[in-house]
Copies of this chain bind each other. A is one copy, B any other.
Amino acid sequence: MDRLLQGVQIRINEKLYLKDPESSGLGKKIIEFSIQLINEIGFESFTFKKLGLQIGSNESSIYRYFENKHKLLLYLTSWYWGWMEYQLVFATNSISNPKEKLLKSILIITREIKEDSSFSHINEVLLNKIVINEYSKSYTTKEVDTENKEGFYSIYKRLVGRLGEMISLVDADYQYPTSLASTILENGLHQHFLKEHFPSLTDCNNQVTPTQFLTHLVFNTLNQKIDE
């Protein structure tokens, strides 16, 4: 994974930024340290002023890259889903058996990110935590419908689409492939969240992973055995 990604750039909707953060040192610092700071203090308390302080830069300079922190969150999460999509396609491309392919996809999507692939200034371990804790805030706003039209969620939607297709390839008669796909994505995050903050609301723990739960759920729903 590592080496290969160095040549790949994840394409983010251009309307999410005023100036491409990948185009300068300051831009990259904004991305790198916003991930750290959001993790530390949470998205609500996070401000451009505090970020400026952290990176020894000025609030006004950050505003030249992003209109506001909401757009920054959309940028970060889009990057995450783009990265996820890349991993998914890369790892499953060569698999022809539909069941095996779906199995692998569920693993990639629902596993915990434990090591930074360190191909860039983006720490995927921390970004994964941000997505677990804050992703829902990016779409539970009054502006969601206009922002959806602007294409701010298109990478995520594409990912759900890919997963839905894989489900249909395993069972063409299954009636809810898209709902099941979105459930895997969303519940994958949610079980990780519960494991951390509400252990009494999940069976996942250090022994049992969200991947196991969801793999069992999906394959039983599709009336398939997991044969290897």
Given the interface pairs A142-B41, A142-B44, the reply to whether A216 lies near B157 with Cβ below 8 Å is no
Q: Per a CB cutoff under 8 Å, which of B44, B179, B194, B201 touches A204?
A: B179
Please name the residue on chain B nearest to A41 by beta carbon: B142
24 sample A-B contacts, Cβ–Cβ < 8 Å, listed by A number: A42-B142, A44-B141, A44-B142, A45-B142, A134-B140, A136-B136, A136-B137, A139-B197, A153-B198, A161-B200, A175-B216, A176-B208, A176-B216, A176-B217, A177-B203, A178-B203, A179-B202, A179-B204, A179-B210, A181-B201, A183-B217, A187-B187, A220-B223, A221-B221
The answer to whether A148 and B198 touch across the interface, beta carbons within 8 angstroms, is yes
Q: Per a CB cutoff under 8 Å, which of B137, B204, B213 touches A137?
A: B137
CA–CA, A194 and B48, complex, Å: 31
